Amino acid sequence: MKQNNPASLQVLYTRREIEMTVNRLAEEITREYQGRKPLLVSVLKGSVIFLSDLARRLDFPLELEFVQLSSYGSGTESSGKIRMAQVLHTPLKDRDVLIVEDIVDSGQSMAYLLERLHKKKPASIKLCCLLDKPSRRKVPVTVDYRGFTVPDKFIVGYGMDYAEQYRNLPDIYVIES
């Protein structure tokens, strides 16, 4: 890896481990959504790499939408104040909605998004996250499909950033700043 940054990165999951986990999630979700056409709502920017791998393994018709939430500045701690920086335009009424997220940390972002989306009266809403950091939870969030449970460390790569860096790394790392 040739990224110009002095921070040290340690591999947490290799691309092979990620691939196997994405395959497992895709099989589970494919079984669940047979005969339906859900709307996948990907949370920008962190989930886009996960979404692009996952969506190509889902064997049923689906639609894609994107939302952007903001709470994090360039630091590693959530401010707790969430806002919708990009909103959804597709009507959700009576749709099956599957949120695709990179990581659930304090839970504040997902609690906020779930509440907003519930108001649009979808038929169902489920949450798929690649990483879950339950030790940091401040508000309860139900994760329906979970890739890995991770320790209380700051994680980068495979879409996830630190100050907008490292999203393009194919493996997942713990960052020691």
Site residues for Mg ion per CB under 5 A? 43, 46, 102
Cβ 131 to ligand IMP shortest distance, Å = 8
Cβ 3 to ligand IMP shortest distance, Å = 15
Per CB under 6 A, 107 contacts ligand IMP = yes
Per CB under 6 A, 42 contacts ligand IMP = no
Token output for 100:
């695709």
Per CB under 6 A, 148 contacts ligand IMP = no
Count CB-CB contacts under 10 A for residue 159: 24
Concerning whether 144 is annotated as a catalytic residue, the answer is no
Range list of H helices, 63-167? 108-118
The number of C-alpha atoms within 13 Å of 15 and in the hemisphere containing its C-beta is: 8
Among 151, 83, 144, CA closest to 116: 83
Per CB under 6 A, 78 contacts ligand IMP = yes
Per CB under 6 A, 72 contacts ligand IMP = yes
Helices and strands per DSSP (H, E), number in the chain = 3, 9
Give the binding site for ligand IMP (CB under 6 A): 46, 71-72, 78, 101-109, 154-156, 160
